[in-house]
Structure 1
Amino acid sequence: MRMDRFSGAGVRDQRRPFETDHDRILYSSYFQRLAGVTQIVRAGEEDIFHTRQQHTHKVAQIGRRLSQHLLRKCEERNIQCPQLDPEVVAAASLAHDLGHPPFGHKGEYTLNDLVQQAGEEGYEGNAQTFRIITKLAVRWNETDGLDLTRAVACGVLKYPWLRDAHNPNKSKKWSAYASEKDEFEWARKGQKEDVPSPEAALMDWADDIAYSVHDLEDFHRCNLIPWTKILNDQDEQLQIVHRTAKKWHGGPENAIEVLQEALAQLIEQLDLYQEILQQRYDGSRSVRVGLRQMTSALVGNFIQQTKLKWPMSIDVPPETERKVLLLKTMARDYIISNPSLAAQQKGQERILRELFQMIMNDTCWGDVGNRKVPNYLPPRLEYLIDLSESLARFVADCLSSLTEREISRLHSRLVGYEAGSVLDPIVR
């Protein structure tokens, strides 16, 4: 059942079905687009920052190593684990951010607001990912989407429920729109309600590890992380703890206390690299070696701490999860507080809002077959109009299919900031 496909399109070759899924995702245009999409800092800002695609490759690598580590542990104990396959975790990891729109989470929040204002259930990057792999991605004439196996489609669903506006745990994060309910139910067949599959849980944990370690490394290279204060200033440490507790969804009543303990343990680990962290990053060989050793040690430690509980659930020690939460806070807050980034995001929000309204106004909407896209949109987006259940969903599908460079150039021409050339397509 895990190797079933929703439509069964394509022909078998020398690859295992899960390997085929991995390759279909890797070669899709939606995956290629991620090279031009923000991780935290705008894509194209500087080479030292991760793009969303680079981040995704690292999530897939960590996810594969996590699952291989757990399988080796099972072998040592003579336990069979048929429901855990490293190829499924790697494929789900490659797919997990396909629905991430231009301009990072700012873009996601803006599109969600715009789609909800138009009367739809909103925009969610995870739900858009599932929509892409099951409907929007182009691979076959006879079926929509990538037609992945059930195991990989399920492995993408880290929030395995549809949106429920009346449930605070299901109203902000969910993994499928109502329009993909049938595909969602097919992918989730045989799974516990509201519980991600083990492979989805590993993908999610790999994403957290990559975010917490590699993004922090980016900002260290820019000398934006105040390590001296983090390692030595108790007031700064307390602020980190309080900021983490505030954003800890479902955190315990004693969140401050347990986070303080976790931060003390984390600082003890980081103290081993104090010489590297407390000097200005200059790109010299010795500094780069030290930074590589630190990030490798952190990732390796988080992988080794992960265990498998029988029957088939992922067990991450609470103190390890808390360390990752704290690192994510550092990676997020020290850069997001930067006024230059805030100015960028204000402009990016304006681009999305103005483009959304233009396309809404200029699209001829009617029954399927009687719709017409604006003549300034590229031919490669035209097919989306007959796959969309509403005008607002069509516009969101269009905008989230573009890179940040494409969407900025399109906006610049439509508002007259940039004339461009009639011989140069805005979006190819």
Structure 2
Amino acid sequence: MNKGRNKDTERLLKLLLERLLIANSLPLDTDISALTDKEEFLVFFRMLNRFKLRRNRLPILRPMFVRHLIPFVLESKFLISRRIGSSDLEAFLKILYRYLSFSETNDPRIIMKADAAFLYFMAKMPGSKVEILLAYTMAMFPQSRSLFTSLNLISKNSNGKDYLTHNGKVIPNCNIRDELCLVDKMPSMKIIQLIYDRLFLGHELTKWDVGALFSRYLDEVRRIQSQDTLSDHPFCRNNHSSLILESFIRYIITWLKKPVFAYNRVIVFLNSVYCSELKSRYLSILISDLSRRSLSHACSLLIRAEMDTKVDSDAFFSIINEMMRLGEGESAKKYYAYACRSQRISKSFTDSQIAKICVDFKWDAPKYWLINRLSNVPKVISEFENEKSGSNSDMTPAWLQKEKQFNTDVFISFLDRCQKTENR
């Protein structure tokens, strides 16, 4: 986490604690350990524990905090983290099941995130199969069966059993806790993307297979977006993003190695369906790839995509560099001028890209790039001087000093003690 943001949060927490102490007629030097059982200070401890967890520190463990701590831990350690492996699955389930037993009414948002995290674990486990992932998804979201049928991911055989359309493998039934079943919800775009990713990873799909799957996907998106009543559907205008498109692009350019085929799919997507959030990562990679194979397609996609998304500087640099290589200096300079007018694009050029632009092409560095570099110099000097003088550590409040690293076993033991006390 950014040091400046840490200090801002520390100041906010200190101010909140001071206000609460004054409001409750308590001395400003009161040790916070004497406040953990007071309802009036619960808002402070909720914020403090969330701050600790986001920095991978052990929160303050008190029985009074257990109901807000479990969702915080689930979210910060498992639900938003992408640096997790299959070994974390057991710990995740232990904490999740304790959450279910502690809470009489479970927050659907936490259950939705928990289901998504479990499916994420499943998808990332070695040897994970798409039919297993589909089985758990349909158990957690019963309404998704019709969606996966429409997408032609699953079909039904003569015995009435679901099977994977691509290879005919039967999708098994799986049992989950009732609390994890969201009968009135649909899986998110991210969950559906996981299924496509696992399908692409585990099977050698041909260009025809991919084209047919993509057409079915677009047909279903168009159908859903033509019905204004389906506001909770992942494909509705407010929820539909480019996550699944990115999965298709990644497979086409990585495995099929057909960037022009990917370009055609992207253009159809941009022209036929509404997307509330258009991711730029793989679009930028595709544009960079196209610039070396079909410059006209790369330029066309760059212009079209820039209307709807934030294409990164790498895509612009790839086109500029390729144009210069082909002797199209004037055209390259027009694209560079466009990039320079954009504060977002020009600030993100790398040092090596700017070096090539200035040394090889003999062009000036972008104004916003220079401003961004120069504006960071005083901040770096200030941070260095603060660290050298030790002023940062002197200002850190006592309740943020000598913190311990978060430990899953310690937290689970705390939950078990709370549960035993509650059951007495």
Same fold by TM-score greater than 0.5? no
Q: Give the TM-score range, shorter chain.
A: under 0.3
- Scaled by the length of structure 1, the TM-score of the pair is 0.24
- Scaled by the length of structure 2, the TM-score of the pair is 0.24
Name the one with the larger helix percent.
2
Of structures 1 and 2, the larger Rg is shown by 2
